[in-house]
Amino acid sequence: MVSLTTQMELRAVQALPFCYLCGVRFAPGDDIDRDHVPPKSIFATTDRQPLILRTHRGCNNMHKLTDEKIGQLIALNYGQVPANPLNRRLRFAHLGLVGTTAVTNLNIDAAIWRWIAGFHAALYREPLLIMGRNRSLVKPFRQVDWTKGYYSVAPLRQQHSLFVKLVKVNRLRNSVDRIVANKAKMTYECLWIQDDERTKWMCVFALKLYDWADMGSSLFWPTRGCAGVYALESGLLPANATRGSPPSVWIPDAHPLDPFA
């Protein structure tokens, strides 16, 4: 099991020889920056004990506005809003039902996948570059389409409850790789398991930031956590990755959609 849970362990990965964003090894003369994964703007000042990875400055600068937006979104969880209205980056739309508000100017999926690349780099000391067909993600927030004059909610992917169960069962078996940072306000867990045809390995993961699962719930939709899967182009798994196993027995679960409930 690979574990990064102490400040010493988190500091040990701050000098990886490649940029986790583009995957290219650093060369002499490169303009190198440091990136908090996830961004420090998400966390209250008193909670900041971060995972920090090296990047090219140009790669990191491309994501600063997105980091600022998602930091402001998650900070709503503990009641923090920029005092100056000019610094408030998020745009909201009310959907006409009690407790239903949408953020309209943030690609949350892209931000989360960037963090997953950082977690992979930190755990396995190798870059992660994955294509769309080799990955799937469910976040706590529903995705809404209102381009046709009415809004429709994207259905929950059928595999989500399976991924949640895999993480929970393998956590009990102590068969997950884990990163815990920012005074346990961020937890990432993953395991590697073969697909049904046993032709490639897949990483099943779960991510918790504060209690962000509660931010996606409402009177109309049940609480769900963040979980997903990705596979390397090679179909292999990292040399030090933890191999999980499917549940052998059925375990009652009052929260089948939240890997950390």
pLDDT confidence of residue 147: 67
Q: Answer whether 34's CB lies under 8 Å from 52's CB.
A: yes
Kindly tell me if the per-residue pLDDT of 219 is higher than 80. no
Contact (CB, 8 A) for 213 and 261? yes
Q: What is the pTM of this model?
A: 0.92
Residue carrying structure tokens 């940072």: 181
Cβ–Cβ under 8 Å, residues 39 and 115: no
Tokens of 44: 């209250």
Question: How far is 183 from 7, CA to CA, in rounded Å?
Answer: 10
Mean pLDDT of 203-211: 96
- Three-class SS state of 40: helix
Question: Is the distance from CB of 189 to CB of 176 less than 8 angstroms?
Answer: yes
Q: Any idea which of 46-60, 118-132, 166-180 has the lowest mean pLDDT? A: 118-132
Q: Measured between alpha carbons, how far is 117 from 121 in angstroms, rounded to an integer? A: 6
Does position 107 have pLDDT exceeding 70, yes or no? Answer: yes
**Nearest-CA neighbor of 21 among 51, 76, 62, 78?**
62
Q: Tell me if residue 191 falls in helix, strand or coil.
A: strand
Long-range residue pairs from 74-78, CB within 8 A, at least 24 positions apart, any chain: 74/42, 74/209, 74/210, 74/212, 74/215, 75/41, 75/42, 75/44, 76/215, 77/209, 77/210, 77/211, 77/212, 77/214, 77/215, 78/44, 78/210
Here the tokens at position 8 are: 């010493």
pLDDT in tens, 15-28: 999 999 999 999 99
What is the pLDDT of the chain when averaged over all its residues?
89
Other beta carbons within 10 angstroms of residue 212's beta carbon come to 20
pLDDT at site 196: 83
Of the two residues 20 and 144, the one the predictor is more confident about is 20
Mean pLDDT of 103-111: 88
Q: Which residue has the tokens 């950082």?
A: 118
